[in-house]
Structure 1
Amino acid sequence: MEYIIRQASRQELDILVDWATKEGWNPGIDDAEVFWKTDPEGFVALEVGGKMIGGGSIVSYSGKFGFMGFFMVKPEFRSKGWGTKLWYWRRDKLLSRLDKGAPIGMDGVFVMQPFYAKGGFVFSHRDLRMEGIGTTMSFSEKVVQVNANDFDKINGFDLNVFGYNRKAFIEGWLSIKSGKAFKYVERGEVKGYGMVRKCQKGYKVGPLFAESYDIANELFKAMSSVAHCEAIYLDVPEINTDGMELAKNYNLKECFGCARMYYNQAPKLPYNKIFGVTSFELG
């Protein structure tokens, strides 16, 4: 059967988001627009017989770092080899978009780890989705809502934690109308920030980057207040023991998880400052 793998359109990204919702991945209601503006060439579609049956993301951060996500094939086309063709095409296409030797990250479901390992990805750690109920709480006066004048400082802080410049993404992400972003400021310096956004179910926190447990705690209290009486999710790198302790202290329970894996040399990141990853789709 004839097939083609090609760049996806903006409308087809919406289809991927809809499929992700049906898979139970619970994307944010405004994620697609930010994802697209971050890298319009970073989404692909698998077409068979003139119909889109699969797709995924292959986002490049200025050629220095890539991320693969949104890997999906419609259920009726699974276990027929289409996913393998799509996945390897995506990997190779993303490599061609990156500087030589640049790493690629991904958060893959645990059962697919052997497949990804065959494709050259090496396991780093587990990112665990922790679920609870948002509660209104008082928080430090050093925690304030982010505005457009903060973007440069936030991006500078993010660069030191995420490891790569993603200014276009940050500006879009922090401007999501269905969410709120908070920063922790001490002596005029940003010491942490977080974003909480409305999803198909409840709210997701991501990222939650902070210099210390106490700072992350104050930021989480602010974001939990936004999600008052609704489900709240935090995707914690398991290797950050303080992050796991934070989740435990708010009675968040593991409900899902992914294996963070890398192709080429894994970046050396300050995981002690990563209390919540940004997203499983774009890193």
Structure 2
Amino acid sequence: MPADLSIRALNAAEIQLPLAWAAAEGWNPGCGDAACFATVDPGGFLMAEIEGAPAAVISVVNYDARFAFLGFYIVRPDLRGQGIGFRLWQAGLAHAGTRTIGLDGVLAQQANYARQGFVFAHRNIRFAGTPEPGEAGGTVDLAGIPFEAVAASDAAVFPAGRAAFLKAWLSAPGHAGRAVLREGRLAGWGVVRPALEGWKIGPLVAEDEGVAEEIFRALRAGAGNAPIVLDIPEPNAPALALARRHALSPVFETARMYTGSIRPVALELLYGVTSFELG
């Protein structure tokens, strides 16, 4: 363990660093993700430094008094195996306090997370490919939907309220949202955004597969002919079928894990996870 190791919180401008490291690891973050992530918890992005140089990063974002989400756990490749990551990990968990913490663990780390008290909930599977061109169809611009309706829908599929994050996510440059209304109520919605490679869809929330299909096609149209990435909770079988129907193939998977109990979430409504980094 280097004697001159120090740990501090990143400021909003510095949150680009974890995204750059994530890109180098092949995680393909969205181009505008950093600004959105910075809105949630100003003290939730931590960095370990050695003589003032970045050595490791982690985010443990506190959404509310009961729930936090862990991501961006990366140690600089030339410094791995020296205990730096574990020191930073401990600092991140301390930031969460007594909150239940969620994460999406890669296969190589799941056993380590289990030893730290994280319990497997379900798999999330990343699908990617280049579907046929989409169409707006009967969808409407998500910007025209009252924010309260979108936030209520999101709260059904996520373990905490996250209004500040959602507002930033929906209005970020390059992000485009579409929605489906049924008899005047919000039946489903989704967001597509440019990533370093192709475009990512997330979240995608729908009351049934037909609504999800409409939204997917509309979001696909917003991405032109670029490749698409969609992260799906494995328990939602209709979501898996939608991905395969549109020529998307599984390329990666994570394990959603929690340290404690969470409020009920309706995975049958979740056709696309917002982000593996912030849940």
**Same fold (TM > 0.5):** yes
Rounded Cα–Cα distance in structure 1 between residues aligned with 2:270 and 2:153: 12
Distance 1:224 1:188 in 2: 24
- The residue that corresponds to 1:132 in the other structure is 129
CA distance in structure 2 between the aligned counterparts of 1:254 and 1:80, rounded to whole angstroms: 34
Tell me, in whole angstroms, the C-alpha distance in 2 between the residues paired with 1:148 and 1:51: 45
Contact 1:139 1:221 in 2 (8 A): yes
1:196-243 deviation per Cα after TM superposition (whole angstroms, max 9, x unaligned): 000111100000111111111110011111222211000001111111
Structure 2 counterparts to residues 184-199 of structure 1, below 5 A: 184-199=180-195
From 236, 242, 245, the counterpart of 1:249: 245
> Shift in Å at residue 42 of structure 1?
1.4
Gap regions ≥5 residues in structure 1? none
Question: CA deviation digits over 1:244-268, x for unaligned, max 9?
Answer: 1111111111111211100111442
Superposed displacement of residue 269, structure 1: 1.3
How big is the shift at 1:192? 1.0
Deviation of 1:149 (Å): 5.5
User: Residue 171 and residue 177 in structure 1: after superposition, are their counterparts in 2 closer, same or farther (change >3 A)?
Assistant: same
Q: Distance in 2 between matches of 1:149 and 1:130?
A: 28
- Distance in 1 of aligned mates of 2:145 and 2:209: 26
**Quick check: 1:111 aligned with 2:113?**
no
Greater shift after overlay, 28-37 or 148-157?
A: 148-157
- 8 Å CA contact 1:136–1:226 kept in 2: the answer is no
> Unaligned regions of 5+ residues in structure 2, if any?
none
Q: What is the alpha-carbon distance in structure 1 between the residues aligned to residue 131 and residue 225 of structure 2?
A: 5
> What is the CA distance between 1:38 and its match in structure 2?
1.9
- Structure 1 partner of 2:21: 19
- The answer on 1:34 being equivalent to 2:36 is yes
- Does 1:58 pair with 2:60? yes
Conserved? CA contact 2:205–2:272, under 8 Å: yes
CA distance in structure 2 between the aligned counterparts of 1:120 and 1:176, rounded to whole angstroms? 35
Work out the percentage of aligned pairs sharing the same amino acid.
Answer: 36
CA separation of 1:50 and 1:137: change in aligned 2, threshold 3 A? closer
Measure, in 2, the Cα distance between the counterparts of 1:216 and 1:275: 7
What amino acid is aligned across from residue 122 of structure 2 in structure 1?
A: H
Match of 1:201 in 2: 197
Distance 1:253 1:39 in 2: 34
Q: Pick the aligned partner of 2:140 from 140, 144, 160.
A: 144
Distance 1:248 1:78 in 2: 38
Counterpart for residue 6 of structure 1: 8
Secondary structure of the equivalent of 1:4?
A: strand
SS at match of 1:71: strand
Would you say the 8 A contact 2:125–2:252 is kept in 1?
yes
The code of the aligned residue for 2:12 comes to R
Q: Secondary structure at the match of 1:170?
A: helix
Determine if the alignment matches structure 1 residue 43 to structure 2 residue 39: no
Q: TM-score, normalised by structure 1?
A: 0.94
Quick check: 1:39–1:59 contact (8 Å CA) kept in 2? yes
Does the 8 Å CA contact 1:20/1:27 hold for their aligned counterparts? yes
The aligned counterpart of 1:76 is 78
**Equivalent residues of 1:134, 1:227 under 8 A apart:** no
Shift of 1:127: 0.7
Q: TM-score, normalised by structure 2?
A: 0.95
RMSD: 1.4
Partner of 1:153, secondary structure, is helix
Distance 2:122 2:107 in 1: 11
Residues matched between the structures, number: 277
Higher mean Cα deviation, 11-20 or 169-178?
A: 11-20
